[in-house]
Amino acid sequence: MYTETVEITGHFIDSLLLPKILDDVVGHDTEFDIERLDVGKRQQDPSYARIRLTAKDADTLERVLRRIRRHGAVLVNEEDCGIETADKDGVFPDGFYSTTNQRTEIRIDGRWVAVDKPEMDCGIRVSPDRKRGECAPISEIRAGDLIVVGHRGVKVEPARKPSKEDAFGFMSSDVSTEKPKGAIVRNIADCFRDVKYRGQKILVVAGPAVVHTGAAGHFVRLIESGYVNMLFAGNALAVHDIEYALFGTSLGVYLDRGMPAEHGHENHMRAINIIRGHGGIRPAVERGALTQGIMHACVSHGVPFLLAGSIRDDGPLPEVITDVIEAQRKMREMIDGVGVALMIATMLHSIAVGNLLPSTVRTICVDINPSVVTKLADRGSFQAHGVVTDVESFLRELCGELGLLVR
Amino acid sequence: MYTETVEITGHFIDSLLLPKILDDVVGHDTEFDIERLDVGKRQQDPSYARIRLTAKDADTLERVLRRIRRHGAVLVNEEDCGIETADKDGVFPDGFYSTTNQRTEIRIDGRWVAVDKPEMDCGIRVSPDRKRGECAPISEIRAGDLIVVGHRGVKVEPARKPSKEDAFGFMSSDVSTEKPKGAIVRNIADCFRDVKYRGQKILVVAGPAVVHTGAAGHFVRLIESGYVNMLFAGNALAVHDIEYALFGTSLGVYLDRGMPAEHGHENHMRAINIIRGHGGIRPAVERGALTQGIMHACVSHGVPFLLAGSIRDDGPLPEVITDVIEAQRKMREMIDGVGVALMIATMLHSIAVGNLLPSTVRTICVDINPSVVTKLADRGSFQAHGVVTDVESFLRELCGELGLLVR
Amino acid sequence: MYTETVEITGHFIDSLLLPKILDDVVGHDTEFDIERLDVGKRQQDPSYARIRLTAKDADTLERVLRRIRRHGAVLVNEEDCGIETADKDGVFPDGFYSTTNQRTEIRIDGRWVAVDKPEMDCGIRVSPDRKRGECAPISEIRAGDLIVVGHRGVKVEPARKPSKEDAFGFMSSDVSTEKPKGAIVRNIADCFRDVKYRGQKILVVAGPAVVHTGAAGHFVRLIESGYVNMLFAGNALAVHDIEYALFGTSLGVYLDRGMPAEHGHENHMRAINIIRGHGGIRPAVERGALTQGIMHACVSHGVPFLLAGSIRDDGPLPEVITDVIEAQRKMREMIDGVGVALMIATMLHSIAVGNLLPSTVRTICVDINPSVVTKLADRGSFQAHGVVTDVESFLRELCGELGLLVR
Amino acid sequence: MYTETVEITGHFIDSLLLPKILDDVVGHDTEFDIERLDVGKRQQDPSYARIRLTAKDADTLERVLRRIRRHGAVLVNEEDCGIETADKDGVFPDGFYSTTNQRTEIRIDGRWVAVDKPEMDCGIRVSPDRKRGECAPISEIRAGDLIVVGHRGVKVEPARKPSKEDAFGFMSSDVSTEKPKGAIVRNIADCFRDVKYRGQKILVVAGPAVVHTGAAGHFVRLIESGYVNMLFAGNALAVHDIEYALFGTSLGVYLDRGMPAEHGHENHMRAINIIRGHGGIRPAVERGALTQGIMHACVSHGVPFLLAGSIRDDGPLPEVITDVIEAQRKMREMIDGVGVALMIATMLHSIAVGNLLPSTVRTICVDINPSVVTKLADRGSFQAHGVVTDVESFLRELCGELGLLVR
């Protein structure tokens, strides 16, 4: 029989982690003996458990250990993490540790070191002086980089479950269209104020339906009032925003009257042509050719924006980063300091940005289509809260809750 | 060769009926000769066409005739309609004419007579004196009733296509979530005012999501201001409205805070029990036990309501008509004089009521789920306009457009 | 300070019940002291916990107690349950205990007695001799009935979480369209065989899309092979099945060619008229007027069926129970002995039947629309497993897995 | 009063074009006089109309003319098209003619010349010798290019409506989940055989759900049997296909058992790492490291594939074209000769490819989510037919209809 002893510390009772660990253990032909269990008597008290595991062979035990590490368990006598050198650019060593977006520590030279830039589906690159570690995507790996392999010496601190008082907890419970939206919008407004107060940034990821549904004006108010510190979008949001600014239409439909314009389907191409003629959005604003709308507001209020390309883009506008890996790289650079990410009406960009964010960044996904939110959660953005509602109404109400007059 | 000559009068050019007729003709092995075609020179002018049809056998010709009658064609020398007597209660004679919900006339004793109470999937019952005809559902047929059979002597006047200036025309073009809602809501508000001005009635068909999403207050405002003249709903709308009035929750969730109440899932059963204890909604209002909400507003403002039962009902409340055929009968009685029907967040009741309405009643279907609107259209309610949006926002904005303050 | 001691026995570790209880306790201003905790060492071993609760007032303590009883906790010194007499027909006494669909026991004269006919949203009616209890819906209550009130003396045994080996566990994890269906269908086939082997019944609840999508033949095979022991449906399923049997169309579309029939929209009314002429489905089968299809197979193979009315019904067919409360009553009588319920393509009937079933009946909900499954779960049918897929393909593959040749 | 005379030739009666033209005319304050109308007597006969338009000012008349040209009307005395020179790279001259994806001709030096490479949202670039024209996307424009401006001298030949016998006509009528799929799949199989017979190519655009739902084997059969001549996809399809080939999982779920693999969520990253280690998919196949699956089948059967990047890509695989404009360029080169495009389970790639295809390429879009098909149609791919069904079942049945054994 093979035996190892693990320990777990923290709020593992109310996080349901202990049962998950025991479940994993008994579900994999391994017996456990709870050698010690100190349950915190009050909600704020941490708990401690020490559990001896016994399996009939080393492989089974190894598999169980690897599994329960995801829930925060570590060996009582943990070793240093394994480190190997990458042979080629863009390729991890075999057996590389594949990251989650949770807070993670690695043990180097007997010390636990926090891993920087938490991001899922990356490897952990160790600094040449072996003092620090950071998540690095495969495309950034260079031959010679030091990469963590195996699972020994890696400790994950799973995200705490939101507390009962937190309306976000209820929001995230399931994706239903039959919920009162008022309270949810109030919570998001509180969250925005709180993030601003703490000096963190509000990132908005938005799709063109923001314009199509007539919500551009609300969005502009949020920008002007400092509630958008960064905008990630695609070519389409910018194109239709500029189409609306120049022609009053979005996808050829007059937004004020809800009627199609004559030859309106051409307007977005004419908008693209005009901006390309000026050399870009910024020059068009500076020369007075673009005087309103979301993109104008970003330029005039100094809100950095990133437009990432997609294969369905028309044009595109000059600012669009057409290389998607380059766009990911830029987004990674920009997200430092983000406290909350609001994702509106865009599945592609929501999932892309969700993949980059650490689990500690609160993520709110608003879409009229429930499957968008479901897909986001399916891909591991556990911290995502879904709101299934009309985009225009949502932004109008959010402005209202934040005390902004909507013109 | 067999030959017949048909004529068609009206706006068949812009209604696209002529092409449909010619299409049906050539698609069924029949040749046509347009003997005369007078196209109206201006939009308001009617057109006239006389077309001779030639087929190689009588059956083919008959089939084509039956088909193009649906588009308004009639024989130049039309005969009287066929009439047979029903043998049994609840059973039509074989070969009964199955109705559409369009305006229809029948030819009796050489005169064209309008058919009353247009409704789809009915038969046409002729009065004993053979002076009038009306649509009658199969369950209402009694032995001895005179019923129209065959298709000769029946003329359908297809609904006109809405004109270009009509934003409803655009709305109905397809069911998209990416349309500006503002203009649509304005149109609906105009339509409501217009219906009121003309002395017609506004019928609202509503599902419980009106309450769940926190829109009950908006709905009450519409009732108080005379914009709801009749309410059709199920047990669930009334139960959750009363649950909210008595406990502040809907499906156990506090609507103001968006948080579940303790044991809140029991609240709807307690609400039902209380109303059953009082003997009904009306007595509960009269005794002061129910003092707010949608049902309270209906009772206190004299707005008639009909609650139709379904097999998923808890309780039900005493006013619920548990026999579905009886409920249909009551709805048929009540819909006379309805000018517009607004259907909110209920597939079952929307389709049920849509089946009863003549094609001349404008029908607006609001749901966050696009498939509800699609299904309504699939079942033949051609006059239905779909709005895919959040129910709460829709009702709030509708109140706003109607100048009602939302508390 | 007020104090009570509760105990909990069973598989509360892997059911995550202990954390839920502790969470409820600390979340409601109450402190706990785990006086004893014996964790089962192996998966099959039950665990035991005794917990002392301390709150600053009696109300708080009472509220916590009421709450944690839902998770299986009982007082160490539990009293008998409260019992009151109903004053009026169809009305519970105030403070009635509102049931879940879980296994429940009540304490009468010091003994724990199982509550029969578990069903959610009912009351518990105690037999006049006070020896037994059963769930009773509000509409069945008669003046003089003995009804349990309050929550003391009531013990709930929450359903066990499915084990790891159980693919249903994974299925139910979330409602995704992006899952391999093959393994799921195999599991359902195994479940059907198992239920049959154990002598329990297979209930199928089906909507008309079974016919529209061309799956009637597969369904007939299931009936002929003994895999459908009971059918619950609405008028529409039977009407379109008979329309298809008589005319080859469903909703007017030829199912073999996928093309609309001429005047096909009338076919369902002609089918209804024919069956009404015969006095019902059974007489029509007996006289040889209906010779194929689902309803024919039910009649000829002695499979009981229940057709429940809804307000959108055309006709209806004579066998349809038009009173919805009467239909619920009949369904309650019939579901005794059901081991698995397969719900296909019908939201209304799925939720209605789901509301009646105890939590121990495995429920499988198949629909192409994810929101149907979500709604079913929202309403408390925790035992429901969702499969989002095409109905026709599902039934064909199910036949295949069960070794039935599909003609 | 200003007057112009237009003519229209072809099947404009059954294409409903004449009514649309007259509608546009009277809807824009213009009167018409049908000077001549020769209606084809049989379905195959073309019709001819000459219509004089009269408006009160030149602008109105111009607007009407521009509008009705979209429906195939041309001036009786048409002029040559306007041509201007582009000033800058990547920018059209003001007033450029914005293309549809319909067959288009331009009049140069008195002759009508067909425009090559029909594609929507492009400009028309005229060859330096002014003998030919072709659609060119804005990003391909170079200073000095000759570009068509205005709408004079441009003739559009709108696509004919599919004939009655064509089941695709019915399919495309609306996007319903309640249709018989058997006949539709048979039609698609016939279409595939027909395209193959005519020597055209079958393009498949596929998303990763093809793999997730367990349909990779069916897809491989199609490739092996010559029914896929070209594959357009994203990184995700290839990654999950290779994950499945190497580990038996897709998104970490064992497809045969429908159960999650241990650490399965890491498998796709390990798959990416292995392929990157080999330098690409092709080398991995050549070295025997990748021996099965969709990508393997493409490589071994010489089926060209294009993997276009998106910002949500992990890795990506070496063959992925990460620059989206470069990917569009490659797709444009490759689509020449495509007779049918089958788009499965990918909104992004479906819309991207749909934007590039001329209206003459039959496009079939298969997805379990109705909104994907709706969105495709919203963006102007009028020739798209939607099938709402489960992807795995669809591909299995398609293989069956094509006589391919599914292993």
pLDDT one-digit tens code per residue, B333-352: 999 999 999 999 998 999 99
CB-CB neighbors (< 8 A) of D277 in chain A: 88, 91
Backbone angles phi, psi at A189, to 5 degrees: -60, -45
CB-CB neighbors (< 8 A) of B369 in chain A: 177
- pLDDT tops 60 at residue B378: no
Residue from the list A268, A349, A378 with its beta carbon closest to the beta carbon of D311 = A349
DSSP three-state, residue B372: helix
Residue keyed to tokens 């609309």: C260
CB–CB of C359/C385 below 8 Å? no
Residue from the list C312, C331, C380 with its beta carbon closest to the beta carbon of B355 = C312
The token pair that represents A68 in the structure block: 């329960």
CB-CB neighbors (< 8 A) of D42 in chain B: 26, 31
Check D369 against C393: CB less than 8 A apart.
Answer: no
Chain D CA closest to residue C258: D183
Nearest CA-CA partner of C294 in C258, C353, C240: C240
Nearest CA-CA partner of D135 in D181, D166, D96: D96
- pLDDT tops 80 at residue B23: no
- Residue B249 contacts A, CB cutoff 8 Å: no
Nearest-angstrom CA–CA distance, D374 and B174: 9
Query: What are chain D's partners, defined as 3 or more CB pairs within 8 angstroms?
Result: A, B, C
Gyration radius of chain D's alpha carbons: 24
Query: What are chain C's partners, defined as 3 or more CB pairs within 8 angstroms?
Result: A, B, D
Q: Chain C: nearest CA to A180, how far in angstroms?
A: 15
The helix or strand, by DSSP H or E, that contains position B344, with its residue range, turns out to be strand B338-344
DSSP state of B369: -
Check A13 against C19: CB less than 8 A apart.
Answer: yes
pLDDT one-digit tens code per residue, A295-351: 999 999 999 999 999 999 999 999 999 999 999 999 999 999 999 999 999 989 999
Beta bridge partners of D51: D6, D34
DSSP three-state, residue A51: strand
Beta bridge partners of B154: B106
> Exposed (0-12), middle (13-18) or buried (19+): which is C261, by Cβ within 10 Å?
middle
- pLDDT tops 90 at residue A273: yes
Over residues B183-194, mean pLDDT: 90
- Residue D310 contacts A, CB cutoff 8 Å: yes
Convert A355-365 to b/e letters by CB count within 10 Å (16 or more is b).
Answer: bbbbbebbbbb
Indicate the residue type of A227: Y
How much is the ipTM here?
A: 0.91
Indicate the residue type of A234: G
Per the prediction, chain C carries an average pLDDT of 88
Beta bridge partners of B255: none
Nearest-angstrom CA–CA distance, B389 and D157: 37
Chain C CA closest to residue A372: C176
CB–CB of A125/A133 below 8 Å? yes
Strand ranges of the sheet holding B249-250, from the earlier edge strand across to the other edge:
B249-250, B253-254, B259-260
CB–CB of C108/C82 below 8 Å? no
- Residue C262 contacts A, CB cutoff 8 Å: no
Nearest-angstrom CA–CA distance, A334 and A357: 11
pLDDT one-digit tens code per residue, B30-71: 888 878 877 766 666 788 889 899 999 988 898 888 888 888
CB-CB neighbors (< 8 A) of C351 in chain B: 312
Over residues A25-41, mean pLDDT: 78
Q: Chain C: nearest CA to D266, how far in angstroms?
A: 18
Backbone angles phi, psi at B139, to 5 degrees: -70, -15
Per-residue pLDDT of chain D (407 residues; tens, 9 = 90+): 889 999 888 877 666 677 778 777 877 788 888 788 777 666 667 888 898 999 999 888 988 888 888 888 889 888 999 999 999 999 999 999 999 888 999 999 999 999 999 999 999 999 999 999 999 999 999 999 999 999 899 998 876 655 444 445 444 444 456 667 788 888 899 999 999 999 999 999 999 999 999 999 999 999 999 999 999 999 999 999 999 999 999 888 888 877 777 778 899 999 999 999 999 999 999 999 999 999 999 999 999 999 999 999 999 999 999 999 999 999 999 999 999 999 999 989 999 999 999 988 988 989 888 777 777 765 554 567 788 888 998 999 999 999 997 65
Beta bridge partners of D2: D55
pLDDT of residue D173: 47
DSSP state of D138: G
Nearest-angstrom CA–CA distance, D78 and D331: 35
CB-CB neighbors (< 8 A) of C23 in chain A: 14, 164
Q: What's the first-to-final CA gap in chain A, in angstroms? A: 73
> Exposed (0-12), middle (13-18) or buried (19+): which is B262, by Cβ within 10 Å?
middle
Read off the pLDDT band of A251 (50, 70, 90). Answer: confident
| Chain A 311-340, residues with CB within 8 Å of chain C CB atoms | none
Q: What's the first-to-final CA gap in chain C, in angstroms? A: 73
- Residue A169 contacts C, CB cutoff 8 Å: no
- Residue A174 contacts C, CB cutoff 8 Å: yes
Check D258 against C184: CB less than 8 A apart.
Answer: yes
CB-CB neighbors (< 8 A) of A257 in chain B: 167, 183
- Residue D266 contacts A, CB cutoff 8 Å: yes
Over residues A143-155, mean pLDDT: 95
Gyration radius of chain A's alpha carbons: 24
- pLDDT tops 50 at residue B259: yes
Strand B154-157 to B103-108 pairing: antiparallel
Residue keyed to tokens 């007489």: C283
Nearest-angstrom CA–CA distance, D136 and D117: 8
- Residue A261 contacts D, CB cutoff 8 Å: no
DSSP three-state, residue C274: helix
Check B276 against C323: CB less than 8 A apart.
Answer: no
Over residues B3-24, mean pLDDT: 78
- Residue A177 contacts C, CB cutoff 8 Å: yes
The token pair that represents C271 in the structure block: 């089918």
Chain C CA closest to residue B139: C315
Strand ranges of the sheet holding D74-75, from the earlier edge strand across to the other edge:
D31-38, D47-55, D2-10, D74-75
Convert A294-304 to b/e letters by CB count within 10 Å (16 or more is b).
Answer: bbbbbbeeebe
| Chain C 21-60, residues with CB within 8 Å of chain D CB atoms | none
Chain B CA closest to residue C234: B311
Q: Which range (B185-194, B220-229, B230-239, C366-375) has the least confidence?
A: C366-375
pLDDT of residue A154: 93
CB-CB neighbors (< 8 A) of B348 in chain C: 310-312, 348
Q: Which residues are CB-contacts of B88 (< 8 A; sequence separation ≥ 6)?
A: B143, C276, C277
pLDDT of residue A165: 44
DSSP state of D78: -
Backbone angles phi, psi at A307, to 5 degrees: -105, 115
Backbone angles phi, psi at A380, to 5 degrees: 105, 5
| Chain C 87-106, residues with CB within 8 Å of chain B CB atoms | 88, 90-92, 94, 96, 98
Q: How many CA atoms lie within 13 A of A83 on its CB side?
A: 20
Chain B CA closest to residue C307: B311
The token pair that represents A106 in the structure block: 């690695």
B142 C-beta neighbours (distance < 10 Å), count: 11
Q: How many residues does chain B have?
A: 407
Strand B338-344 to B362-367 pairing: parallel
DSSP state of D131: S
- pLDDT tops 80 at residue B15: no
CB–CB of D160/B23 below 8 Å? no
pTM of the entire predicted model: 0.88
Chain B CA closest to residue C138: B315
Nearest-angstrom CA–CA distance, B274 and C94: 8
Residue from the list D91, D325, D351 with its beta carbon closest to the beta carbon of A322 = D325
Nearest-angstrom CA–CA distance, A222 and A242: 18
pLDDT of residue A368: 84
CB-CB neighbors (< 8 A) of C400 in chain D: none
Read off the pLDDT band of A406 (50, 70, 90). Answer: low
DSSP three-state, residue C187: helix
Check B42 against D34: CB less than 8 A apart.
Answer: no
DSSP three-state, residue B183: helix
Q: What's the first-to-final CA gap in chain D, in angstroms? A: 73
Helix-, strand-, coil-residue percentages of chain C, each rounded to 5: 35, 25, 40
CB–CB of A229/A203 below 8 Å? yes
The helix or strand, by DSSP H or E, that contains position B133, with its residue range, turns out to be strand B133-136
pLDDT of residue A196: 94
- Residue A187 contacts B, CB cutoff 8 Å: yes
pLDDT of residue B172: 47
Nearest-angstrom CA–CA distance, C221 and B377: 33
pLDDT of residue D44: 67
- Segments of chain C with pLDDT less than 50: 163-167, 169-175, 381
Give the number of beta-carbon pairs within 8 Å between A and D.
Answer: 130
**With the CA atoms of D57, D61, D66 and D68 taken in that order, what torsion angle do they form, in degrees rounded to the nearest 10?**
160
pLDDT of residue C210: 95
Strand D146-149 to D82-85 pairing: antiparallel
Angle at A218 between CA A212 and CA A221, to 5 degrees: 140
The token pair that represents A223 in the structure block: 């920008």
